Amino acid sequence: MINVTKSYLPDLDDYVGYLKGIWERVHLTNNGPLLQELEEQLKNYLGVKHLFFCSNGTVVLQMAIKAMNITKEVITTPFSYCATTHTIIWEQCTPVFADILPSDYTIDPAQIERVITEDTEAILATHVYGNACQIEAIQKIADKHHLKVIYDGAHTFGANYNGQSLLSYGDVSTCSFHATKVFHTVEGGIIICHDDALAEKLSLYRSFGHRNDDYFDIGINAKNSEFHAAMGLCVLPKVPDLIAARKERFSWYDAQLNWDKLSKPAQAEGLDYNYAYYPITFTTEAELLAARDALNEVKIFPRRYFYPSLNTLPFIQAYGSRSNQPCPVSEDMSLRVLCLPMYPDLDRTDVDRICTIINKSF
């Protein structure tokens, strides 16, 4: 069986070495020494000032919305994983969808400006597949209308834009460290900001609003454990090699797929990519389904990612006309995009087989 992704596991002895220390200290969670060490290494790796390692990539989005006192409308993309929209609704805000660019599938700045109203408080954009949004244009709009910018950077670890981490942009950026990501801690995520006061609030939010035995604010349980931090400490040194291996597999796909019949999203100029996903776009949904079914028959399982366009989800309709505006580009692309298997030890012969099956499916 070949799935769309496969988790990287470091050398078991390396991980056990960290476990021995956990057993000796009997400090399993609550801002333990391994968690603090991982946070410092991540700050250095990403070149950011404030970073908090949390329990997953969804709760950090919730924390961002709450910490910046966003209560009304949030403009977001319909072409993302559902968690991007779920967090807006969970925090009792209204998602307002702006359509995407047909070139790279990221949120279209012109469409953002079109849907801004007096109730708009923030833009929550996704760096789709680890590809950079139109950062400068989005920031210009945000500055003009006094809006906060949150980037869902779930796919972006290890990607740089104009010489700095893609996670360093916006008022807040978040990233998922789920087991399927380029860098993972089995489960986990981070939230990054630049403002000292906001960082203080996020630090409190992560742990019930208290520090030691004193309570200062509201909060939730977004802490992560020493076991997850240990996995991160094992995986982080391997990231350059993991990205290099992914890049090589990208080149194998690039060389063999029939680009007369397929296309793929353009990468932003100035992007140093992390090769997190390998999306291809078919001419029609029928062609996508034919290729997917042919691959499934031999136990190869690509993924329709992202599908469907989030503005079409039935439960979104309950949030009114501002939430269910048509997004024709996203609705079209979501029907035609398929992510192919991509992970560091994907075998060359398997890539050859995948490409052959897809090229024969037309």
Taking only the tens place, the pLDDT of each residue in 71-124 is 999 999 999 999 999 999 999 999 999 999 999 999 999 999 999 999 999 999
Q: Which CATH superfamily is domain 239-360 in?
A: Aspartate Aminotransferase, domain 1 (3.90.1150.10)
- Residue range(s) of every CATH 3.90.1150.10 domain in the chain: 239-360
Residues pairing with 221 in the sheet:
207
For 2-237, CATH gives 3.40.640.10
Spell out the per-residue pLDDT of the chain, length 362, in tens.
Answer: 999 999 999 999 999 999 999 999 999 999 999 999 999 999 999 999 999 999 999 999 999 999 999 999 999 999 999 999 999 999 999 999 999 999 999 999 999 999 999 999 999 999 999 999 999 999 999 999 999 999 999 999 999 999 999 999 999 999 999 999 999 999 999 999 999 999 999 999 999 998 888 888 889 999 999 999 999 999 999 999 999 999 999 999 999 999 999 999 999 999 999 999 999 999 999 999 999 999 999 999 999 999 999 999 988 877 766 777 899 999 999 999 999 999 999 999 999 999 999 999 99
Per-residue confidence (pLDDT) for residue 321, from 0 to 100 = 65
Task: Give the separation between CA 156 and CA 306, rounded to whole angstroms.
Answer: 16
- Cis bond upstream, residue 227 (ω within 30): no
Q: What angle do CA 57, 192, 144 make, to 5 degrees?
A: 110
List the strands of the sheet with 50-54, edge to edge. 50-54, 189-193, 172-176, 148-152, 120-126, 73-76, 94-97
Q: How many CB atoms lie within 10 A of CB 214?
A: 7
Q: Where in the chain is the domain with CATH 3.40.640.10?
A: 2-237
> Among 337, 273, 344, 313, which residue's Cα sits nearest to residue 78?
313
The one-character DSSP state at 283 is S
